[in-house]
Amino acid sequence: MKNLLILCIAIITLGTSCSSNDEKNLDPLIGNWYKFSENKKEVNDCEKKTTLNFKENGDYSISLYEALTNGDCISDGMDTGKWANKGNNNYGIILAGDNFEVIQKITFGENSSSFTFTEKEEDGTTYTTTYKRK
């Protein structure tokens, strides 16, 4: 009787956890993100309007915003391109109209609610930027 009860519980558990409607295992980068901080310092409200959108089909877009010294917040343009997961939290980014792929190491925060990456400029200056999920 005890074995029959365990078998029934196992069947019920399998029946409810296996479904053809289960969500796909999507890459944690997919979604809409806003700029939150640069070099561990929270950015101003204007720069928080900077958004990244990574789509499941491998397309991405970025809308950039910049705060002027007079306090105005202006759009600094939009770029599009392609992205791909290269494994081990490395992502390839290709700007539209470009053939050069930049490989970027991305560190995801708890529950993939944020991600951080570091860029090094030609002059040696390093920027660490964090985006949060919208």
Query: What confidence score (pLDDT) does residue 23 get?
Result: 58
pTM of the model: 0.78
Q: DSSP secondary structure string, 61-109?
A: EEEEEEE-TTS-EEEEEEEEEEEEEEETTEEEEEETT--PPEEEE-EE-
- pLDDT tens string, the chain, 134 residues long: the values are 444 334 334 444 444 444 444 557 899 999 999 999 999 999 999 999 999 999 999 999 999 999 999 999 999 999 999 999 999 999 999 999 998 999 999 999 999 999 999 999 999 999 999 999 99
Query: What confidence score (pLDDT) does residue 3 get?
Result: 41
Query: What confidence score (pLDDT) does residue 17 get?
Result: 46
DSSP 52: E
119 beta partners = 127
How many C-beta neighbours within 10 Å does residue 92 have?
14
Domains delineated in the chain: 26-133 (2.40.128.490)
